[in-house]
Structures are given as C-alpha cells and as structure tokens.
C-alpha cells in the first residue's frame, strides 16, 4: 500500500480546528484543573459540541462520519497541549463507544451511541482487574444468567478504569466469565452496565502521578443485575472483541503519545529562544540544538508510524503489527522527549507551572496503558512468526 500520509483538505481543516481549540481554550485553563485534580467538564462539553466524540462514527448514530485517522489527528493536537483532555477523548471514543459500535445490536447502538457521540455521556471500558492486567484472559469477574428473571448477575472488581466515575458517565462495558469451555478455559463475555445500577460501586478517584485532570477509578460489582439484552455481541466472544478494540486503541494512544512528544518540542523551542544564559539564548548552543533536533526526529517518525497504522485500518487492511509498532515506538519516545524537555528547561522544568513538567508526569503511563511495551514487543514478534 502507499505510504503517502498527506492529509486531505477535510482532515487538514479538522487538524487546524482542534489545534486552535487546544491552544485557545485548553491551554489557558487546563493547568488549574490539573493542579486541583479536577475533571474539566466545561472543556469536555465544548469538545462534545465540536463533534470530537463522534468523529469516527456514522451520522445515523449522531457521529461525524469520519474515520480513525480523524480521531488520531484530534488526539495528537490535544495532547500537544494536555494529555488529560486527550485521554478523556481517547477512552470515551475508542474504549467507551467503539465496542458498542463494533459489536452491539442495532437497539444497543440506537440507545447509547447518540449521547456518546455528542459527548453528553461518557462510556468506559472495564477490562483490567487488580490481579489481572496484561493477562486479560485471567479475568475473575463473573456473570451468571438468572433464567428466572432474564438478568445477568455480575460480581467482581475492575481497576484503573478511565471515565468511569464522572457526572456524565453513562455506562461501563465489563468483561466477565460467563461459563467454561469443555477444556476448562473460561468463556469471557462483554456486558453493558449502566451507571447507577444497584450494586455497582464507583470508588473515589485514584491519586495519580499524571493525567490528573482525567477520571480514573476502581469499580466493584456486587450482585449487579442487568437485562440479558445488555450482552454485547455473542456470549463467550468478549475476549476476542476486546483484543480487536485494543488493537485499534493502540493507534489512538500512539497518536496521543506523538502529540505529547511534539508538545515537548514546541515548548523546548520556545524556551530555548527566550531563555538567556552567558549572554545569549540557550538555543544558540549546539548541545541544545541537537537535543531538540533529535526530539523533532522522534516525533516526526512516530507520526508516520501511527498514520500508517490508521491508514491500514481505514482501508480494511491488516494493521495489528503496525498498531503495536506505532504504540511501542511513540510511547517510548514520548518518555524520552519529556525527559529531554525537562532537562532543557533546567530548574523551571521541575516547576508545575511549566507545561513540560505536566508532560513529564503524563508520559510514563503511555508505556503501560492499553498494552505495556513488553506486550507490544511480544505481539510484534508473534506477527513476525516467532512463536514458542
């Protein structure tokens, strides 16, 4: 396939629109939300009015009729300024709404997607458990079908769930063991649990290193009852469904990581031009120039990687390896760029009033969430035919 990733006029217009929004609306306000560990409802509402939560979904469900490339462009531009806002969009779209769009019935799509696409409601993705992270097949949450009432009865715990406890969270799609195969392996299914369902408890927000203006919680389910019709897709196909969702989500995370890496370049260039030492701007020193040149090289390469994976997805081509490559590379160079940007800023880089301090704190989770760097290397090796 062609690797020409020049943007169409429509994609470029979207990119510019989100770039302006990020600099004019997000940048002046987000630092205060971040320091207060407060979810930025007003910013999220504006993102909803812009149609960002509906970017990759058809118009019939309230979406914008765009594609995954459009979502990635929006995420990159947001993350150049702030990752908390970007991850709220990423999780709301690729983890909250996308499972319903990919695997839901027509009734489920009509019920949930319009509000999710409008940003009036947020969806969450309940996969990770306290003793089950990278080993998603080790799910311990259970769901049994009560034949007498026609309801699923869910028990278990989920952790590190983004968008799960906001005032506008509408649902969490959870994976749960609903039976066992003849060989004893668990049948994992996906079930939609609306917020406020009795027995569904949302814990207080975590105290996190970064992403402090986003919502992340632990969830518990104690005899939670939801209608049998809340099963998402086929029973026993939940694990396979979420593997597909995670493959797509890695492209989105890669776009977000690229944005953070580019934001580090932006801030470092600006600082290097204005900060003076020994009678001249520090950007006149070759050591600083080379640092920033390497940072730009990394961000540029990461951008090519995620756009390549997104293009393959949009064109219906295999993209699993390319998504893993993009996620692995972009997340690791985001950490590197954040470290270098902090070094360039010197003591000011350690002060929270400077965006690079926020970027440094936000970068590390990118090597962990939606598949650790180790998992990405495992997936890449497997796609290359290296199996045990």
As annotated, the active-site residues are 370
List Cβ neighbours of 2 (8 Å cut-off, separation of 6 or more).
none
Asked if 356 and 291 count as a contact pair (C-beta separation under 8 A), the reply is: no
Length of the chain: 388
Q: How far is CA 232 from CA 143, 179, 241, in A?
A: 13, 16, 9
- Closest residue by Cα to residue 254 from 295, 303, 321, 181: 303
- Give the Cα separation of 125 and 119 in Å (integer): 16
Give the start-end residues of each E strand in the chain: 122-126, 142-146, 151-162, 169-180, 186-194, 200-202, 216-227, 231-232, 276-277, 280-281
The pair of structure tokens assigned to 181 is 């195969």
- Give the Cα separation of 55 and 61 in Å (integer): 11
- Give the Cα separation of 212 and 9 in Å (integer): 35
- Give the Cα separation of 101 and 123 in Å (integer): 12
């Amino acid at each position: 396939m062609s690797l020409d990733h020049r943007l169409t006029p429509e994609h470029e217009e979207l990119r510019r629109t989100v770039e302006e929004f990020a600099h004019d609306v997000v940048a002046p306000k987000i630092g205060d939300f971040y320091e207060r560990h407060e979810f930025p409802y007003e910013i999220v509402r504006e993102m909803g009015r812009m149609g960002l939560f509906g970017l990759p979904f058809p118009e019939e469900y309230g979406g914008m009729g765009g594609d995954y490339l459009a979502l990635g462009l929006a995420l990159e531009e947001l993350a150049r300024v702030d990752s908390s806002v970007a991850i709220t969009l990423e999780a709301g779209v690729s983890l909250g709404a996308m499972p319903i769009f990919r695997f839901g019935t027509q009734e489920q799509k009509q019920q949930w997607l319009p509000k999710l696409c409008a940003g009036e409601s947020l969806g969450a993705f309940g996969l990770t458990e306290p003793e089950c992270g990278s080993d998603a097949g080790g799910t311990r949450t259970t769901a049994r079908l009560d034949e007498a009432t026609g309801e699923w009865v869910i028990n278990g715990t989920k952790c590190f769930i983004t968008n799960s406890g906001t005032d506008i969270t509408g649902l969490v799609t959870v994976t749960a063991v609903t039976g066992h195969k003849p060989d004893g392996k668990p049948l994992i299914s996906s079930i939609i649990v609306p917020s406020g369902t009795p027995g569904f408890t949302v814990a207080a927000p975590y105290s996190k290193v970064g992403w402090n203006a986003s919502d992340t919680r632990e969830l518990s389910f104690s005899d939670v009852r939801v209608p049998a019709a809340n099963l998402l897709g086929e029973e026993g196909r939940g694990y396979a469904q979420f593997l597909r969702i995670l493959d797509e989500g890695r492209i989105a995370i890669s776009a977000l990581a690229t944005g953070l890496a580019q934001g580090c370049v932006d801030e470092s260039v600006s600082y290097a031009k204005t900060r003076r030492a020994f009678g001249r701007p520090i950007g006149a020193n070759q050591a600083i120039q080379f640092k920033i040149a390497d940072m730009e090289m990394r961000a540029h390469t990461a951008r090519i990687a995620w756009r390549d994976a997104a293009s393959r997805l949009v064109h219906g081509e295999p993209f699993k390896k390319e998504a893993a490559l993009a996620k692995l590379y972009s997340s690791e160079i985001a950490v590197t760029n954040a470290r270098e940007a902090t070094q360039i800023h010197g003591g000011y880089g350690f002060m929270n009033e400077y965006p690079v301090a926020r970027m440094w704190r936000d970068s590390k989770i990118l090597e962990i969430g939606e598949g650790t760097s180790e998992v990405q290397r495992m997936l890449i090796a497997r796609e290359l035919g290296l199996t045990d």
